[in-house]
Every structure is written in structure tokens, then in C-alpha cells.
Amino acid sequence: MSELDLICTGCGIGIQTEEKDRPGYAPLNSVVEREYPVCQRCYRIKHYSDVAPVTLDNENFRKILSDIAKRPALVVKVVDLFDFAGSWVKEIKQYVGKNPIVLVANKADLLPRSTNWDKVETWLRHEVAKQGVEVSSIILISAKKRLGIEEVKTAIEAKGKDKDVYVVGTANVGKSTLINGLMNLFGEENGGELTTSRYPGTTLSTIRMDLPTGRSIIDTPGIMTTHRLTDLVSAKSLRIITPETYIDPKTYQLNDRQTLFLGGLCRFDYLEGPKQGFTIYAANQLEVHRTKLENADNLYEKHLGTLLTPPLEQDSDLLRKLYTHSFTLKSGHPQDIVISGLGWITLRGRDGAQVKIHAPKGVDVHLRRALI
């Protein structure tokens, strides 16, 4: 059976029945005459949360996105509110051309219950403006809990009446989950639901789904990145560093010359300054350990992989060598040090306070105006 005969309704790839190690494989008897055929990989994701790694072609994905600029379209740009910079597609302007953009900030359900959402939206507008991108609206949602999706539907109906709707973003921001929720609201949900998981690279090609307007909503493959810890850890470690519910911030009152370990993937050193609080926003299940700076090297050497996890045994050795990023704090508005894919540490320091962050090579670490 040719790959072109059937398309997996879960991830969009052409189904083939001959090579088990290639993407799109499914046993012939499992897909023939099925109204909504799925490949074996999607089946195992849905029923067993078991993800087989595949080799992904980012250049092909980028070509798909570049084609959007050549036609009238409404672009729904999805970002991860827990990791805004890590999930921002820097080339978004060239991909979408002059088409309007609706910015959807997903995973709002992860931020603390006390979050001021008006301030978060103001923060998002500031960050988007820094990227030189204009958006027609900003909508905060939880695709997983289907909160705020009605507002996305309304925006699509208002701005995309005569246009196809392209949902774009980096891998693992929740595009497919959002579309499943939208199709339900549009009255189009059926057995052809898109495959979703916490693992990057679930959607492998474009998937077109018809809207009642006569146009289509198109799920696009997520652009794969390599600067987030979620890109680099094993599936088991990913479960530890990925928040599943409201984050419970942890505040530590530190004197200078003290260290915090976020598992074994990140080390925070407070080198110099007055006693003050540092608040960690990360997955609740990620263990944080405090020690004196003079003991930090020894603690890391002796307890990496036991007390300090992740990384776990199945993780790459590249995660076991940390690289240093130095920051000098300034008085004024609180700031966050972001460790992409892991979380952030909010600082309310005074002029001259010195801190260092140690993280695996390639992981983006940067300072920003505080989100919360």
C-alpha cells in the first residue's frame, strides 16, 4: 500500500504498511477501511503514552510555514505562557507576511491562582512589541482544560470569515489540543481527533480540518527547537520538569554565598548582596535543594542522579555538564531569570547584587521583566 493512499488523522503523515521503523507505519489490517486511520505511533501515544522518536525535518516544516505568506489567511500563533521566549517563533513575520495574527497564550492554567491576568496581558503586549510584531488580539487560554477557547473561536469567526486559519508555533505548545477544542465548539468533533501529548514533535505534517464556514483550520507541525530543556531531556525526565497543574511558587530567603539546585539541571548561586527572597516558578514535582556555596560543587559531584534529579540514567551526558551565566541585579521592577523549558527565578534585588545560573550547554538563560 502506498504512503499516498491514506493519511494519519492524528499526526498528518502518510501511512505506510511496510517499514516499521519509518514514520507513518501501521499494520495493514488496522487501517484498511477505517474512517479515521491512525499510524501505530499515534495509536501508542493515545492509548499507552508511549512515544517512539522520529527524525524530523525542520526545513520542510519551515517551508510549510513560509507558504502561508503567499495566500490570504488568518494566523493563530500559539505560545507557551510558561516559556514565552522559548516558544516564540522568531521568523514569524516572514512566515505569515501581511496576514493578521491572533496571539494565543496557552497553559495559563499553570500560573499561580493569585495571578493578575490583566498584568499578564500587558506583559505579553510588551514582549510582543519588543519582537517587532503586531497582533490583532491576545487571548489567554488553557487548551488542556478548554478555558478561553470560546474567545479564540469568536476571533476566528470575526477575522477569518473568508480565510483559511493556520495554527502555528513551536513544538509542544498545545496547537493540536487547541484545535481539538475548537472543532468541538464548531460542532465538528469526531473520531478524527488530532493526536496530542507532552512530547515535542507529535504532529508530523499539516492536517486540514473543515470549518462550517466552508474554509479550513490547518494544524501545522511545530518548529523543533534545541534551546529548551524540554527539548533535551528523556521522556521520563520530561514528566518531572513539565508542570501539570497550578505552580506553587517556592520562596527562599537567602544570604549571600548560598546555592539552590533545581534538580540537577540548574544551579543558582547568590554570590553577593543583602539577605533577600528569591522565588522559584517550576513544576511542583521538581525538587529544590539549598546548600552553602562552598559545599555546592561537592554536593553536585556526589549526588547528581540520586538526590539531584533529573537528569536520570537515560538522559544524555551533555546534561551533566553545567555552563555559567552571570547577572548583576538592579533596583526597580522585579526581574526573572528564565531557564528555558524549566521555569524561572524572580529576583527583587538591590543594585549590585551578584548571581550566577549554571545550566546545560545550549539551554537559553536570560533576564526579563518579571511576569508575575
Q: Grid cell 496581558 — which residue?
A: 121
| Per-residue model confidence (pLDDT) at position 285 | 97
| Per-residue model confidence (pLDDT) at position 293 | 98
Measured distance CA(200)–CA(314) in Å, rounded: 17
Q: Which domains does the chain have, with CATH numbers?
A: 1-53 (no CATH), 58-225 (3.40.50.300), 235-369 (no CATH)
The continuous run of DSSP H or E covering 271 comes out as: strand 266-272
Helix (H, G, I), strand (E, B) or coil at 229: helix
Write the DSSP string, 140-193: E-BTTTTBSHHHHHHHHHHH-TTSEEEEE-BTTSSHHHHHHHHHHHTT---TTP
| Per-residue model confidence (pLDDT) at position 3 | 44
Q: Grid cell 521566549 — which residue?
A: 85
| Per-residue model confidence (pLDDT) at position 67 | 82
| Per-residue model confidence (pLDDT) at position 4 | 46
| Per-residue model confidence (pLDDT) at position 337 | 96
- Pairing relationship of beta strands 266-272 and 258-262 according to DSSP bridges: antiparallel
Show pLDDT as tens, one digit a residue, over the chain (372 residues).
Answer: 344 467 777 777 777 888 777 777 888 777 766 777 877 777 777 776 666 555 555 666 677 777 888 889 999 999 999 999 999 988 888 888 999 999 999 999 999 988 999 999 999 999 999 999 999 999 999 999 999 999 999 999 998 878 899 999 888 898 888 988 888 888 765 445 654 555 555 555 667 778 777 888 888 877 878 899 998 999 899 999 999 999 999 999 999 999 999 999 999 999 998 899 999 999 999 999 999 999 999 999 999 999 999 999 999 999 999 999 999 988 778 999 999 999 999 998 667 789 999 999 999 999 999 999
Cα dihedral value 162, 163, 164, 165, nearest 10: -110
pTM, 2 dp: 0.82
| Per-residue model confidence (pLDDT) at position 171 | 82
